[in-house]
Chain A
């Protein structure tokens, strides 16, 4: 039970076509370009990276909102990569999503009670209304929203409250996996910590597994057990949280870590300021995609794509340095 693998994805790729001009050469944005990782039951796997690195696409590939071009996506051993849209209904039940923008992810013209009971209506069409209502109120209470808000519309709530509603919606079907796509990025710090605490409590209570996607390393460090760092569609490092934050191996992870402004003026650490821009995923550099900005770039990095190599017990890095 302890080490049961819930999600196991292997070499998953998704390339979005870019130009639709008739005679032009077809170009692709390599949003996810061969990503593999697995998540064990009950753990929180943090996926970090900057905008355009493919972390959100990876989340959506797992629950089939976007279909993968190739690769395997196994949920409890069952490969979901090629199942039909009809069958997805069954598999979406145990994996739910929480979205970044709590303002946009709730239907504006539905009342809170309708938003929350909708998953039940879809998956248990025969459930009596009072039972639905009981489940909804119970969960709202657990998520810190009082019952008299049931008749209200999303626009009547603040961002933090809406995110609580979003979380409650994702939990009502008692899923095993929650894919949280930047769930606190749109919130103020004091609200952000409320939501993070809530997510931890709910994880404990329901034995949830989280795939926590975020650009904010400090948030990811706070909530995750293991962390994967993405750059331009590839995972460059996967490790236990402690290893990532105390002894990052990949130069990109090191730079990312040192770039976070720390709320402590005395801790003026040496910031590794990366030169240059993030290259476009439509036209990524050859070899190691990070070599254009890497302070430790070597000749080989320009030519050969580094593979993920195991360095420590649970630490993997894709870099020619090792």
Chain B
């Protein structure tokens, strides 16, 4: 198999007053070389926790990985000691975040922050690393890259900072880039710049990108394959074309219909009633059942599995005939 990343049955739980609450519920997926995979979902669906779990960056959160595998290059990253994980982070797997300011050190010059991982991972001398850093900055479309090296993060605009973050992430030529809402904090015209940049970089370096976002527009624009998450579970997974052409899960359908589309006029928007359930108060059975318009009786009691058919997986009883047959018997 040529998957660069294979996540098997990943489980992550958060420590709360009421004990451990599972927020990522055994999710599995893979990312191939040269592919952009999107994970979409609303706030609290576990998409960001998933990305942090893959990078093993949960120590600043109350979260803990409680099971599963994250296989990269035949190694299970979850079983590596922290010291060797450091060798992967930044070199093989890189990550960019929504708010670049939080991941850039405010008191260090851009040049130093860019140079250090290059020196560390690519074993370059200081001068070579600096030269390489300038090249990377230029490749992400930063004008006067040499001057920027001497500046501090706060001197840059939001779009520039995100470019610097991307430069930092790709400086060691990782084979997988995890982007957590990379354009959410940016204005639309800047978002368009960053998205086209990411597509370009992906093609040039032939890496895989895991794109975490809440914006279906962004997904449609850049992704090849999409995973829809709801309440810590994968509810649908397929190619981007199939997802928008023929969404199966009622949640996905509702989500797509909720987005106002340019040119569709002022007709009433579809909306999904209710809100996302909190991890401390999950409904039994299908987690979407209380908000679902196609809900059936047993949806409230039995949770459906993720069933694949022609490259289109869906976690919904509507597509699982045997079960319905069994119920009617």
Contact = CB atoms under 8 A, between A and B. Distances in A.
A257 B192 CA distance: 11
A277 B240 contact: no
Interface stretch (B12-20, B121-129, B209-217): B209-217
B220 A263 contact: yes
A205 interface: no
Tell me if A's interface is mostly helix, strand, loop or mixed.
helix
Contacts of B160: 277
A59 interface: no
Given A191-B275, A261-B217, A221 B262 contact: yes
17 contacts: A188-B43, A189-B214, A190-B271, A191-B42, A193-B270, A221-B262, A221-B263, A261-B218, A261-B220, A265-B221, A265-B241, A266-B241, A266-B245, A271-B192, A271-B196, A273-B196, A278-B187
Interface stretch (A101-109, A211-219, A232-240, A313-321): A211-219
A222 B270 CA distance: 12
Contacts, number: 129
Given A50-B187, A259-B189, A265 B259 contact: no
Nearest to B221: A261
Which are the 6 A-B pairs with shortest beta-carbon distances? A261-B217, A222-B260, A50-B187, A259-B192, A193-B271, A263-B216
A215 B189 CA distance: 11
Most chain A beta-carbon contacts within 10 A, residue among B219, B256, B272? B272
A255 B189 contact: yes
A257 B195 CA distance: 15
A262 B195 CA distance: 13
B275 A158 contact: yes
A260 B216 contact: no
Interface in A198-221: 200, 215, 217-219, 221
Given A50-B188, A262-B262, A271-B192, A188 B216 contact: no
A193 B240 contact: no
B: interface residue count bin: 35 or more
Interface of B: 42-43, 157, 159-160, 187-193, 195-196, 214-221, 240-241, 244-245, 254-256, 258-264, 266, 268-273, 275-276
A195 B275 CA distance: 12
A215 B268 CA distance: 20
Contacts of A275: 193
A260 B217 contact: yes
A: interface residue count bin: 35 or more
B189 A264 contact: no
Nearest to B158: A51
Interface of A: 50-51, 158, 160-161, 188-194, 196-197, 200, 215, 217-219, 221-223, 241, 245-246, 255-266, 271, 273-275, 277-278, 293
A256 B261 CA distance: 14
A197 B192 contact: no
Nearest to A220: B260
A305 B240 CA distance: 45
A221 B263 CA distance: 8
B258 A189 contact: yes
Given A261-B191, A265-B241, A197 B269 contact: yes
Contacts of A293: 189
A241 B263 CA distance: 10
Contacts of A193: 258-260, 269-272
B276 to A, nearest CB: 7
B193 A274 contact: yes
Contacts of A196: 260, 269
Contact of A259 (B42, B188, B215, B270): B188
A259 B221 CA distance: 10
Nearest to B256: A263
Contacts of A257: 262
Nearest to A293: B189
A192 B263 CA distance: 18
A196 B270 CA distance: 10
A190 B220 contact: no
A302 to B, nearest CB: 20
B157 A277 contact: yes
A145 to B, nearest CB: 13
Most chain A beta-carbon contacts within 10 A, residue among B221, B260, B268, B273? B260
Given A197-B271, A263-B216, A190 B244 contact: no
Contacts of B218: 261
Contacts of B187: 50-51, 215, 278
Most chain B beta-carbon contacts within 10 A, residue among A51, A223, A265, A275? A265
Contacts of A265: 220-221, 240-241, 244
B262 A217 contact: yes
Contacts of A215: 187-188
B262 A188 contact: no
Contacts of B43: 188
B228 to A, nearest CB: 12
Contact of B217 (A223, A262, A274): A262
Most chain A beta-carbon contacts within 10 A, residue among B159, B192, B215, B270? B192
B45 to A, nearest CB: 9
A271 B43 CA distance: 28
A164 to B, nearest CB: 11
B190 A277 contact: yes
